[in-house]
């Protein structure tokens, strides 16, 4: 039973599932695809670079989907999310795409996810379409306008707005660059620690 009005918002890649683009880089040997939002703060710059690489390498949507289908979850992610969903409502806020997310969401028993869309022509990824700019931050603020207290967890620069806007934002397995950039955010490396941070937040409501 939900006894307190709070919502948890979590990033997907790096928090619950491996980084999709790193997995694609490992599978294909295309090292340029290893860059993620941990490395490049400007999301459009990152995606435009990826689109150029896909064009150059003739890599199709179906090629990437095959990698994702075999990706799996981070160790312990499903148990962590199950426990969290027993205690509160959880929304996944991700800068991935609907065309990528389904196998991961299935493995997680289909939590709610807000993400973006790709523009596809004949199996070729030609562009991407944001659901809205800075959606993670805007969702947190919208939930707060609805009188929810928000606990957020993330690991990358594209999570920073969400983490700072939340009533409590916590880094999870974040790189040192993130820890240095946001020293006031609590930092965790294990799901038990992240859950403990949530419990402290919940107890303080």
Task: Answer yes or no: is 152 within a domain.
Answer: yes
d(CA 30, CA 7): 38
Whether pLDDT at 98 is above 60: yes
Active-site residue among 13, 19, 99, 197? 13
Phi, psi of 12 (to 5 degrees): -100, -65
Q: Is 193 one of the annotated active-site residues of the chain?
A: no
Q: Residues 130-151: pLDDT tens digits?
A: 999 999 999 999 999 999 999 9
Cβ neighbours for 57, distance < 8 A, ≥ 6 positions apart: 28, 30
Q: Is 167 one of the annotated active-site residues of the chain?
A: no
Total-model pTM: 0.92
Number of domains in the chain: 1
Range of the domain at 137: 6-16+75-101+108-116+131-203
Question: Domain of 188: which CATH number?
Answer: 3.40.50.1000
The per-residue pLDDT for 86 is 95
Q: Residues 2-28: pLDDT tens digits?
A: 556 999 999 999 999 999 999 999 999
Q: How many residues does the chain have?
A: 205
């Amino acid at each position: 039973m939900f006894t307190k009005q709070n919502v948890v918002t979590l990033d997907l890649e790096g928090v619950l599932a491996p980084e999709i683009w790193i997995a694609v880089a490992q599978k294909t040997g295309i090292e340029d695809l290893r860059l993620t939002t941990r490395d490049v703060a400007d999301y459009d710059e990152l995606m435009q670079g990826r689109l150029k690489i896909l064009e150059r390498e003739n890599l199709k949507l179906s090629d990437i989907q095959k990698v994702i289908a075999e990706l799996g979850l981070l160790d312990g992610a499903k148990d962590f999310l199950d426990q969290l969903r027993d205690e509160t409502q959880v929304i996944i806020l991700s800068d991935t795409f609907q065309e990528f997310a389904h196998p991961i969401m299935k493995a997680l028993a289909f939590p709610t996810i807000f993400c973006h869309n790709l523009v596809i022509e004949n199996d070729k990824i030609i562009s991407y379409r944001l659901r809205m700019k800075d959606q993670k931050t805007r969702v947190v603020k919208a939930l707060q306008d609805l009188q929810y207290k928000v606990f957020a967890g993330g690991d990358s620069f594209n999570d920073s707005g969400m983490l700072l806007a939340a009533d409590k934002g916590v880094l999870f397995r974040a790189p040192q660059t993130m820890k240095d950039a946001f020293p006031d955010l609590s930092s965790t490396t294990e799901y038990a620690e992240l859950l403990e941070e949530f419990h402290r937040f919940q107890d303080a409501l």
